Amino acid sequence: MDDDEFQRVHQDPDPIRRAQRSTAMIEAYMGRMTELSHLRKDAIEQAHDAGMSYTEIAAALGITKGRVTQIRSQPPPSP
């Protein structure tokens, strides 16, 4: 999905079709969010397995070490 598709939905004059298309986009984005959460968690673990400390990973990502801990310990959102 891209910005053009978002704009087409936003500009759709039919309210029911706009709602249906919005729902479909929400579901697709939720699926991608779950997928991206898995990718991020795996990437953090791979960086750690390669020798980086969680403090170093946090600094490289521009987040706190506590946030890295949260990412590692929380299950990704359900679609």
pLDDT for 20-71, tens place per residue?
A: 999 999 998 998 988 999 999 999 999 999 999 999 999 999 999 999 999 9
50 in any annotated domain: yes
Helices assigned H by DSSP within 1-79: 3-11, 15-49, 54-61, 65-73
Domain that holds residue 52: 3-73
The confidence band for 1, taking pLDDT boundaries of 50, 70 and 90, is low
pLDDT recorded at residue 18: 96
79 part of a folded domain: no
Q: Report how many domains make up the chain.
A: 1
Residue 77 has pLDDT above 60, yes or no: no
Q: 37 lies in a domain?
A: yes
Mean pLDDT of the 9-14 span: 94
